[in-house]
Copies of this chain bind each other. A is one copy, B any other.
Amino acid sequence: MTAIALDAMGGDDAPGATVEGALEAAAAGIEVVLVGDAEVLGHELNRLTGASAGGKGTPTNVRIVHAPDQVAMGDHAAREVRRQRQTSLYVGMELVKAGDAGALVSMGNTGAGMATALVVLGRLKGVERPALGAVIPAGDGMVLFLDVGANADARSSHLVQFAHLGSAYMEAVYGVTKPRVALLSIGEEPSKGSTLVIETHEALQALGEQGRLNFVGNLESRDLLNQKADVIVTDGFTGNVALKLAEGLVSYLFDSMRVAARSSLRSKVGGLLLYPSLRGVRERLDYRAHGAVPLLGVDGGVFIGHGRSDGHAVASGLLAAQRAVDRGMLPALAASIADGLSK
């Protein structure tokens, strides 16, 4: 079984949340490599699993690889990366590069994660820009939405590569046959949208006609969760805006409901009775349940999670990475791009 490396010093609540998550994932059978300051991590492991905590000690499927430094928030320029080869992030990527880990999961700074992945792992052949792909629950299935923020500016060729990468990911990791690929736009007609979108539509349409992608056309954002596609392609600016808007809106709605439920005795009772069912809806939309999203297009498994991740979110991220590795994510991605180039 391939181990999954965890950037144990990355994230707002590291190393508490990361070590906690590693233990949760280890209990589920995952082999975890904690990368970070060995003394700090040893102390944390002892606190959570030691005899004084009534535990049986660190499980055998959790080990530590020492990295003395950690990435400061905001450090993400490539030159910073090259100067800081002792960070938990850098050392973690090296484990992936060397094949000692199948993937790295990091809850740290997204920009730093991307820059380090590009320096240490490089891109898959044929990929100009990697993309962050968010896997979002939609109906009874999942939809891959990308790019959600790896690159704020995009060209048509990038979006076409995202389509190939996303399609390969959903096929390999989620077992979707011929994933339906849609292009996010502001109208279903091919003529609608920005210049970038209109150009990309043309390119994807051609690939669809050649049978090289299952392109289903433009999709409007109101249909994002309507299961009309398995992969939805957009530029990193729009994707990031959409993802954070959804996050903000879900919070806003649940907060408003909480206020509404407090407005009268009648609503209070109603709220209490309804709460257990509503919790399911909220959890389904909760980023923590999904843990971390893949950085597609780099030559190695990299998963980036939310800085605010708690232990459970970290564990979900490790499970997501393990699943992707087990299902051969990387060879599938490489093949899809090579295939795209060859024709």
Show the binding face of A for B, using Cβ within 8 Å: 149, 152-153, 184, 186, 192-195, 197, 220-226, 234-238, 240-242, 244-253, 256-257, 260-261, 263-264, 266-267, 269-278, 280-281, 284
Contact = CB atoms under 8 A, between A and B. Distances in A.
A192 B235 CA distance: 15
Contacts of A275: 270
Contacts of A248: 220-226
Contacts of A221: 240-242, 244-245, 248
A212 B281 CA distance: 45
Nearest to A262: B277
Nearest to A265: B273
A186 B270 CA distance: 38
Given A222-B251, A237-B238, A249-B249, 20 more contacts: A152-B186, A152-B194, A152-B195, A152-B197, A186-B241, A220-B244, A221-B241, A221-B245, A224-B248, A226-B248, A238-B238, A242-B242, A242-B245, A253-B253, A256-B284, A260-B281, A261-B277, A270-B272, A271-B273, A271-B274
Most B Cβ at <10 Å: residue of A236, A261, A270: A270
Contacts of A184: 241
Contacts of A249: 224-225, 246, 249-250
A228 to B, nearest CB: 11
Contact of A260 (B237, B272, B280): B280
A222 B237 contact: no
Q: How many copies does the complex hold?
A: 2
Nearest to A275: B270
Q: Which 3 A-B pairs have the closest CB atoms?
A: A270-B273, A222-B248, A270-B274
Contact of A241 (B241, B253, B272): B241
Nearest to A192: B152
Contacts of A271: 270, 273-274
A251 B248 CA distance: 15
11 contacts: A152-B186, A186-B236, A186-B240, A186-B244, A194-B235, A223-B248, A241-B241, A256-B281, A267-B276, A270-B271, A271-B274
A250 B253 contact: yes
Contact of A277 (B252, B263, B280): B263
A263 B222 CA distance: 26
Nearest to A273: B270
Nearest to A74: B189
A129 to B, nearest CB: 13
Contacts of A246: 245, 249
A149 B187 CA distance: 10
A267 B260 contact: no
A201 B266 CA distance: 48
A281 B244 CA distance: 21
Nearest to A279: B260
Nearest to A269: B273
